[in-house]
A and B are shown apart, each in its own frame.
Chain A
C-alpha cells in the first residue's frame, strides 16, 4: 500500500485527490529543504 493510500484512510478521498491534482501541475520539479542538525529533544 502506498503511503498516500494510508493517508487517504485518515483524511478521506477528496483531500488526497486534491493533492494529486495539485501535484500534477508541479510534477517533475526538484525541491530541497535545508535545515540545521536535528535537535536533541522532541519536546515542543
Chain B
C-alpha cells in the first residue's frame, strides 16, 4: 500500500494470556462450538480493548480491525480520531454460539462495514458486508520459486525419496484436518501403489491444547512405516514447506471443517492438483477435474489419488490450471485491489452485500 501512496501500518494489541484464553473461546464459539464464558470473561475483553484504545496509535482515515480480539476498540476510541472502522472476520461465523455472537454484536454499531472471506461465512448484519477472499504472497519464502538443489536437499534432509510418488498434507495436527483420514487413504492406496510415500507436515501450536493429543494419535497410527513421515517443523520452516509442496505428486487437504484453506492455495500455486475435503474455502478452490477433487471420505480420497497417479498428463494439466486459477483469484495483488476498492467505497457508502 505504501508504494502506492497510501500510508498504511500495523498496530498489534497488547494483552495477557488470560485474554487470549477468553478470545480462543470466542474463536471456537464463532465457528459454532458451544462455549461457556462468564461475565468476568466478557468484562476482561472490554477492559483490554479499553486499554489498547488508549495505547495504540489509531489515528487514520480507515482502520481495519482483524478478528474478534480487538473488535471493541471503536467503542473506546475518541470520536473523530478514525474516519471509518471496518471489521475483518477471517473465520466462518455463519453459525456462531449465541452468547458469543451477542457479545460481539454489541461492537458492530460503531463500524461502517465488515469483511468476510466468503459469502457462506457471513451473518446478517445492519452494515455493509464485503467479500474478500484471502491470498498468498507469490514472492514470500513460502511461495517463491526455489532452486532445484534446495528442493532436493530438503527431501534428503527428511529422508524422502525424490524418485517415488509423494503425497503431502500440510496442516496443524487438528481433528478437523483429519490426519487420520489421510493415513487411512494412504493405506488403502498402498495396496495398489506400494512405492507411494506420505508426508504429514505440521508444527507446534501453543494456543491449541488438543494438538499434542492428536499428534500422539497420528504417530501411533503411523507406526513403523518408513514411507510415512510425520514432520514437526519449527514456525519459520517456510522454505522447507515450499520445497515439500513443490516435490509432492498430489497434495491433500482432507479437512472436515476449514476456514479458507490457504494451504490449498499454496499447493495450487505450485501447480499441484489438490484433493480436498468438501468444506469451507476448499470448495472455492478445488474444482473436480480442473484443479483437483473434492472428497468426503478416506476411500474417496484414495480413489482420486489413484486416478491422479495413474494419469500423469491429466495430473499435470490440472496442476497448470490450478496455478492459473490462483494467479487470477488468490494472489496478494488481487487482495490489495479489493482493499483499495473498499477504501474507495467507504467514501461512497452503499448498502447490502457487495462481492468484489
Partner of B235, one of A22, A24, A33, A41: A41
The answer to whether B327 touches A11 (Cβ under 8 A) is yes
CB distance from A12 to the nearest CB of B (A): 9
Stretch at the interface among B199-207, B243-251, B283-291: B199-207
The answer to whether A36 touches B10 (Cβ under 8 A) is no
The answer to whether B64 touches A41 (Cβ under 8 A) is no
The answer to whether B6 touches A11 (Cβ under 8 A) is no
Q: Which residues of A contact B5 (CB under 8 A)?
A: 23-24, 27-28
Identity of the chain B residue whose Cβ is nearest the Cβ of A11 in the assembled complex: B333
- Which residues of B from 189 to 226 have beta carbons under 8 Å from A? 202-207
Give chain B's interface residue range (CB within 8 Å of chain A): 35 or more
The answer to whether A42 touches B23 (Cβ under 8 A) is no
Q: Which residues of B contact A3 (CB under 8 A)?
A: 3, 139
Q: Which residues of A contact B63 (CB under 8 A)?
A: 31-34
The answer to whether B340 touches A40 (Cβ under 8 A) is no
The answer to whether B340 touches A23 (Cβ under 8 A) is yes
Give A residues with C-beta under 8 Å from B: 2-4, 6-7, 10-11, 15-16, 18-20, 22-44
Q: A34-B11, A39-B207 are in contact. List 19 more A-B contacts (CB 8 A).
A: A2-B3, A7-B138, A10-B331, A11-B138, A15-B337, A30-B6, A30-B61, A33-B9, A33-B64, A35-B69, A37-B13, A39-B205, A41-B203, A41-B206, A42-B203, A42-B236, A43-B171, A43-B263, A44-B172
